C-alpha cells in the first residue's frame, strides 16, 4: 500500500503526518520526495546506509566535429543550445534530457554525458526504512530524483510518500504510484484555496483520497465546510495543540511521546487501510 | 553598426520593453544609414530558455549592441560570446535611447540577473 501525503502549500503538516504514519505502522518505508527541502530525516534521524548519486543525460559537443550547421539549435524546444559565430553553447541546466539534439546531429558531434543533479540517501530508523531525495542547490527540476525514488519503493509494504508542496510536476511525479492520497489542509479560507488545487489534481489522476485538517481551532472551519460541500471524506482532524508544537520543535516523533496522538495515528492508518481495501 | 532595442509595438516612439527574453519585438537600427526594421521575437512564447533564444535572434541579426533594462545570465553569455555589447536603457522611447546611444550617453549594462526560471509561469 502506497500512501502519498500532499498539500497545496508548505507548512501544513505533510512531514508531521508522513513520519508519524510511517512510525505507527509495523514496518514501513518513508519516502521524502520534497527534494528541494527534505526534512523527514530531522525527525526520523535515520542511519544512512547508502548514498546514490542521481544523474541526467545532457548533450556534450565535440568541437572538432561540429560544423555549426545549427540543426540542434533549431530542434531544441527548450532553447538549451545557441550558436555564437561557430561556437556551440550548451545550457545544461534547462535541458530536459530528450536526446533529440544528439539524434539530429549530422556530424555526430553531439553525444550524451551524465550530469549529477542530486543524491538519494537510503537509511534505517527502527521499523522505518527511509529514502530521502536531495536535489543539488540551483537545479531547476527535482523530477529526475523523484523518478528514481519511485523505482526504489518496495512493492508490497506500507510506503508513505512525503510530497513536495503545491501541485506542479514534482507533485504529479510523487503521487503517480500512490494507491491513496492524504490531502493535508489548514482550517482557513487560505487553506481552502490550497486544498482546492490538490483536490483538482488527485481528481484528475483518479486516485482515491481523503483529507486531514491540521491545526484545528474551535470556531469557524472553512476547510471542513468545503469538504462537506464536495462530499470529501475527512479522515481526521488534528487540533492546534501546544504539545504538538513543542514535540515537533524538538524533532520528536509524536507517536513515540504521546499516547493521545499514538491513538490518533493508529486510527488514521486503520482508516486509510480500510479506504484502500474498498 | 546595428543596435537592437526590445519594444512592445512597431514604432520607435514606444518605450523600451522591460523584458528582454519575452519582448514581442526588437527594433534593429542601423546607425550608418539611419534605417530600421522590426524583428519578431519568437522566444516570447517559449516554455523556457527565452533569453537564450532571444539572444540567438540578435546574434543572427548581425547586431553589435543591445539597449535593454536588464538581461539574464544565460542570454548575456550568448551575447558576450558573439561580442554584442549591452547598454543600460534609460526611461524614454526606443528612439530616444538610440539617439543617446549614438551620442555615447548610455553606460554599459554590467549587472545581469540569474533569470526568472520557473517563476514566470512556466513549470518544470
Q: pLDDT tens digit string along A143-177?
A: 999 999 999 999 989 999 999 999 999 999 999 99
The fraction of chain A above a pLDDT of 70, given in percent, is: 100
Indicate the SS3 state at residue A238: strand
Q: Please list every residue in chain B whose beta carbon sits closer than 8 Å to the beta carbon of residue A84.
A: 59, 78, 81-82
Residue of B nearest to A94 (CA): B49
- What is the reported pLDDT for B116? 67
Rounded CA separation A58/A259 (Å): 52
- What is the reported pLDDT for B117? 61
- What is the reported pLDDT for B123? 36
Rounded CA separation B2/A264 (Å): 71
pLDDT band at A261 (very low <50, low <70, confident <90, very high): very high
User: What residues does each domain of chain A span?
Assistant: 2-54+118-277, 63-108
Lookup: cell for A35 = 527534494
Average pLDDT, chain A: 96
Q: Which of A56, A176, A54, A171 is nearest to A120 (CA)?
A: A54
Mind listing the pLDDT tens digit for each residue in A180-224?
999 999 999 999 999 999 999 999 999 999 999 999 999 999 999
Q: Please list every residue in chain A whose beta carbon sits closer than 8 Å to the beta carbon of residue B53.
A: 79, 82
Q: Please list every residue in chain A whose beta carbon sits closer than 8 Å to the beta carbon of residue B46.
A: 77-79
Indicate the SS3 state at residue A50: strand
With an 8 Å Cβ cutoff, are A87 and B78 in contact?
no
Find the angle CA(A180)-CA(A181)-CA(A182) to the nearest 5 degrees.
125
Architecture of domain A63-108: 2-Layer Sandwich (3.30)
Q: Which of A149, A143, A148 is nearest to A161 (CA)?
A: A149
A101 to A95, A107, A260, B46: CA distances (angstroms): 11, 11, 58, 18
Phi, psi (deg, nearest 5) at residue B75:
-60, -40
* CATH domain A2-54+118-277 topology: Rossmann fold (3.40.50)
> Using CB atoms, which residue from B50, B59, B81 is nearest to A79?
B50
Strands of B25-30's sheet in order across: B36-40, B25-30, B2-7, B65-68, B85-88
With an 8 Å Cβ cutoff, are B118 and A140 in contact?
yes
* pLDDT above 70 for A9: yes
Rounded CA separation B33/A199 (Å): 61
- What is the reported pLDDT for B122? 39
Tens of pLDDT along chain B (124 residues) come to 999 999 999 999 999 999 999 999 999 999 999 999 999 999 999 988 999 999 999 999 999 999 999 999 999 999 999 999 999 999 999 999 999 999 999 999 987 777 766 544 333 3
Closest Cα in chain B, distance from residue A258 (Å)? 41
The fraction of chain A above a pLDDT of 90, given in percent, is: 96
Tell how far CA B56 is from the center of its chain: 11
- What is the reported pLDDT for B25? 97
With an 8 Å Cβ cutoff, are B118 and A73 in contact?
no
User: What residues does each domain of chain B span?
Assistant: 2-102
Rounded CA separation A193/A45 (Å): 33
Architecture of domain B2-102: 2-Layer Sandwich (3.30)
Mind listing the pLDDT tens digit for each residue in A73-121?
999 999 999 999 899 999 998 899 999 999 999 999 999 999 999 999 9
- Report the pLDDT averaged over residues A3-18: 97
Indicate the SS3 state at residue B119: coil
Residue B85 forms contact with A (CB below 8 Å): no
CB B14 within 8 A of CB B7: yes
Residue B81 forms contact with A (CB below 8 Å): yes
Closest Cα in chain A, distance from residue B45 (Å)? 11
* pLDDT above 80 for A237: yes
How many Cβ contacts (< 8 angstroms) between chains A and B? 56
- What is the reported pLDDT for A278? 86
Residue B46 forms contact with A (CB below 8 Å): yes
> What ipTM goes with this model?
0.85
CB A41 within 8 A of CB A51: no
With an 8 Å Cβ cutoff, are A89 and B46 in contact?
no
- What is the reported pLDDT for B118? 53
Rounded CA separation A153/A160 (Å): 10
- What is the reported pLDDT for A41? 98
With an 8 Å Cβ cutoff, are A77 and B123 in contact?
no
Q: E strands within chain B?
A: 2-7, 25-30, 36-40, 65-68, 85-88
Rounded CA separation A92/A80 (Å): 7
Q: Please list every residue in chain B whose beta carbon sits closer than 8 Å to the beta carbon of residue A94.
A: 48-49, 52, 74, 117
- What is the reported pLDDT for B120? 43
- What is the reported pLDDT for B113? 79
pTM value is 0.80
To the nearest 10 degrees (0 to 180), the angle between helices A189-205 and A222-229 is 30
Amino acid at each position: 500500500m502506497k500512501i502519498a501525503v500532499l498539500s497545496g502549500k508548505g507548512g501544513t503538516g505533510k512531514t508531521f503526518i508522513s513520519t508519524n504514519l510511517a512510525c505507527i505502522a509495523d514496518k514501513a518505508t518513508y519516502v521524502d520526495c520534497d527534494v528541494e527541502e527534505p526534512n523527514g530525516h530531522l525527525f526520523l534521524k535515520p542511519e544512512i546506509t547508502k548514498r546514490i548519486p542521481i544523474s541526467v543525460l545532457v548533450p556534450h559537443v565535440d568541437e572538432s566535429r561540429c560544423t555549426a550547421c545549427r540543426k540542434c539549435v533549431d530542434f531544441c524546444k527548450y532553447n538549451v543550445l545557441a550558436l555564437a559565430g561557430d561556437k556551440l553553447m550548451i545550457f545544461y541546466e534547462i535541458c530536459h534530457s530528450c536526446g533529440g539534439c544528439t539524434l539530429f546531429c549530422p556530424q555526430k558531434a553531439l553525444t550524451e554525458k551524465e550530469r549529477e543533479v542530486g543524491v538519494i540517501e537510503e537509511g534505517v530508523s527502527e521499523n522505518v526504512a527511509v529514502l530521502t531525495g536531495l536535489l543539488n542547490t540551483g537545479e531547476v527540476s527535482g523530477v529526475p530524483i523523484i523518478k528514481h525514488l519511485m523505482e526504489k519503493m518496495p512493492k508490497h509494504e506500507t510506503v508513505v510518500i512525503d510530497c513536495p508542496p503545491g501541485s506542479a510536476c514534482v507533485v504529479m511525479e510523487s503521487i503517480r504510484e500512490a494507491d491513496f492520497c492524504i490531502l493535508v489542509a489548514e482550517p482557513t479560507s487560505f487553506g481552502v484555496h490550497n486544498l482546492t488545487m490538490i483536490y483538482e489534481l488527485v481528481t484528475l489522476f483518479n486516485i482515491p483520497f481523503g483529507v486531514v485538517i491540521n491545526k484545528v481551532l474551535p470556531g469557524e472551519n472553512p476547510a471542513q465546510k468545503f469538504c462537506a460541500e464536495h462530499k470529501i471524506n475527512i479522515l481526521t482532524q488534528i487540533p492546534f495543540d501546544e504539545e504538538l508544537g513543542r514535540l515537533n520543535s524538538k524533532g520528536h516523533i509524536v507517536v513515540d511521546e504521546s499516547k493521545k496522538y499514538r491513538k490518533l495515528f493508529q486510527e488514521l492508518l486503520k482508516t486509510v487501510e480500510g479506504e484502500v481495501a474498498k | 553598426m546595428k543596435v537592437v532595442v526590445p519594444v512592445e509595438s512597431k514604432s520607435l516612439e514606444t518605450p523600451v520593453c522591460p523584458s528582454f527574453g519575452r519582448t514581442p519585438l526588437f527594433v534593429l537600427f542601423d546607425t550608418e544609414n539611419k534605417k530600421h526594421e522590426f524583428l519578431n521575437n519568437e522566444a516570447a512564447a517559449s516554455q523556457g530558455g527565452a533569453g537564450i533564444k532571444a539572444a540567438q535572434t540578435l546574434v543572427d541579426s548581425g547586431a553589435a549592441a543591445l539597449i535593454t533594462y536588464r538581461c539574464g545570465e544565460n542570454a548575456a553569455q550568448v551575447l558576450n560570446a558573439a561580442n554584442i555589447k549591452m547598454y543600460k536603457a534609460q526611461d524614454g522611447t526606443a528612439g530616444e535611447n538610440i539617439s543617446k546611444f549614438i551620442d555615447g550617453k548610455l553606460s554599459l549594462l554590467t549587472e545581469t540577473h540569474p533569470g526568472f526560471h520557473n517563476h514566470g509561469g512556466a513549470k518544470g
